[in-house]
Amino acid sequence: MWWPPWLAAWLAWAAGAGAGRPAPLCGSGGLCRAPLGPNASHPAPGHCPRQRGAAELCAWPLSSESLLDTFPVDATQENYVRNVRNCIFSVVYPTPFKSRVRLVAVSKEVLENILDLDISVKGTSDFLQFVSGGKVILGSVPLAHRHGERWELQLKGSGKTPYSRNGDGRAVLRSSVREFLCSEAMHYLGIPTSRAASLVVSDDDVWRDQFYNGNIKKERGAIVLRLAKSWFRIGSLEILAHSGELDLQRRLLDFIIQEHFPSIAMNDSNRYLEFFSTVVSETANLIALWMSVGFAHGVCNTDNFSLLSITIDYGPFGFMESYDPNFVLNTSDDERRYKIGNQANVGLFNLSKLLQALKPLLDPRQKQLASQILEGYGEHYYIRFTELFKTKLGLLGENEDDNYLIAFLLQLMEDTKADFTMTFRQLSEITEDQLKELHIPEEFWALQDLGKHKLFSEWVTMYLLRLNRNKGDSDAKRRTRMTTVNPRYILRNWMAESAVQKANLNDFSEVQLLQQILQHPFQRQQAAEKAGYSLRPPAWAKDLKVSCSS
C-alpha cells in the first residue's frame, strides 16, 4: 500500500501517547529532503546540509513497511482531542517552539551505538531542529533500523495529539530533566528501560499547577527525544478490547508477537497464551529489579506498563532513601496505591487487565491455562526477588535460612530508617573483620544507623556464618562481587532537583555531571564524591515533593 509523504510524515499512537509522540526519522534522503508542514523550515529540495555531522543524518537507514502495511491510519487529519476508532495511528504534526531552543544534553551512547550517528551531529542546527520538533522530514516515520534492530522514537512534549485530553501536549524543563537522567541511569543500573537521546529546552512559556493546589506557575517548555523497541503497552490492547475492535486487536497482537517475541511461532494456535506467559514472567522480573535498587515508578497503571516489560513513562518516580515499604514520592497518590511495597501487587492487577483484554481471543481451554499462568506470577516474583537480594548480600549457593536473613535485614533497615542504597553498598565495602568486631568506621554512615538496632549484632552473626558457607569464596572476592551489583550512586530526588534549579538559570552543568556519574553507578568517582552524591541527603531534601505533573 502506498502512503503519500504527508501522511507518513508524523504518526501518533492511537492507544494514547499523550504528550509523547513519535518523532520523524528521515527517509532515504534524510535531511537532504525538503520538510513538510506550514511551520517547518525549507532547505532546497535534495540539498544536503554541509554542516559537520549532517552526513550521518542524511544516511540514516529507515523502514516503514511493517507498520504502515499492517495497520490502518486515522482518516481524520485534523489534530483535535477526540475518540478515535478503527485505527492504530493518527497523523500529527509537531508544534514547534516559538522561542529560542537550547540543547541541554545528549546521550553519546544512544546517538552512536543505537542511532548510528556521530556525536558531532549534536552541533548542527538540523539536529537541534529535528529533536525540538521544528523540522518535519519528507517520508518521516517513527522507525529506525540498525543491524536488524528497530527503535521507535518519540518527541515527548512536542504538542497536542488527539489523545491529549485537556492537556497542551507540552512537557516542562523539570520533568524533562528527570526523565532524561533517570531513563539513562536505569539503563546503566542494568534495568530494562526506554532510552533518552537528547534534551532540549525553549524559552516558551508553559503554565503548570505542579501540585494541583491552584498555584499555577510559568515554566519553560522542553522536549526529550526518547527511544524504545516498542511503545505498545497493556493499555494498547485494553482499549481495543474495550471498544470491541477485536479484528484490529488481533492484528496488533500478531504484529507485536512477530516483531518482538521471536521465540513464539506465528502458526502456533497457542501463541497468545505463550505471549501472555512471557509477559507475566518478564513483568515479575522487571518489578523485582525495581525493588532491588529501591525504585518507585509512581504511576503503575496499564497505560504505563510496557508489553515488552521495560520501564517507560518516567513521571513522579523516585528512588527510596530511608528503607520504607510504604514509600510514596508521588504527592498525587493520595491513596498510596503505588507505594513501593505494593508495586508487585499492582503488577498483578495490570496483568489481570491484560488477561481480560486477551480473553475474547482465547478458547475456553486457553482461558483456563492463562488463569493458571497468572496465578504463578507471585512465585515468579518471589523467586526473582530472592535471587537479586541474595546477590546483593554476596550469598552463593542455597541455604534454607537465606529468605529469613534477607527479611531480617530489611526489618532492621525499616526500624532504623537506614538508607537503602548505602546500606547494601557499605556492606559491599566493609570487611568481615570490621563487621565481626562491630567496628563500623564513620564513613559507613548507613551501617552506623543500622548498628543502633538492638538486634544488629544478632543479624551480623547470622550473616557472617552464612558467608562462611560460600564455597571457594574469600572476603576480597565477596566485596568485589557485591560492589558490581550494589550501586554507590543513584538519581536521588535532591540531586535531580539541584540539577533542575540550575537548569532553570541556564546552567546545565549539573545535568551533564549527573549524566556522566550515573553512567558508572557502581564505580567510586572523584567528581561524585566531591559533589556529595554518596553522603547523607541534605536536610532540605526531606521537604521535596513530586507529582504527576513532575
Query: Which triple of cell numbers denotes residue 498?
Result: 539541584
Non-local (6+) Cβ contacts of 383 within 8 A are none
Length of the chain: 550
The pLDDT of residue 136: 63
> Which pLDDT belongs to residue 206?
84
Helices then strands, counting H and E runs in the chain, come out as 21, 11
Residue 303 designated active-site: yes
Among candidate residues 126, 303, 313, 449, the one labeled active-site is 303
- Residues 12 and 80 sit within 8 Å (Cβ to Cβ): no
Q: Three-class SS of residue 205? A: strand
Residue whose C-alpha is closest to residue 329's, from 211, 419, 489, 218? 211
Q: Residue 49 has what pLDDT? A: 43
Predicted pLDDT of residue 481: 98
Three-class SS state of 64: coil
Q: Supply the pLDDT for residue 212.
A: 66
- Residue 298: name the closest of 269, 261, 259, 340 by CA: 340
Q: Please give the chain's pLDDT, 550 residues, in tens.
A: 222 222 222 333 333 333 344 333 332 222 222 233 333 333 333 334 444 455 556 555 555 555 666 777 666 766 655 667 766 666 666 777 888 999 999 999 999 999 888 999 999 998 998 888 887 655 555 444 436 578 888 888 876 665 555 567 789 999 999 999 999 999 999 999 999 999 999 998 887 766 667 788 888 999 999 999 999 999 999 999 999 999 999 999 999 999 999 999 999 999 999 999 999 999 999 999 999 999 999 999 999 999 999 999 998 999 999 999 999 888 777 788 889 999 999 999 999 999 999 999 999 999 999 999 999 999 999 999 999 999 999 999 999 999 999 999 999 999 999 999 999 999 999 999 999 999 899 999 999 999 999 999 999 999 999 999 999 999 999 999 999 999 999 999 999 999 999 999 999 999 999 999 999 999 999 999 999 999 999 999 888 878 766 4
The DSSP secondary structure of 3-41, one letter per residue, reads --HHHHS-EEETTT-TTEEEPPB--TTGGGSPB-STTS-
Q: What residues contact residue 72 under an 8 Å CB cut-off, 6+ apart?
A: 86, 87, 88, 89, 248
Query: 85-105 as b/e, with b when 16 or more CB fall inside 10 Å?
Result: eeebbbbbbbbbbeeebbbbb
Predicted local confidence at residue 547, as pLDDT: 72
For position 110, what pLDDT does the model report? 95
State the pLDDT at residue 401. Answer: 95
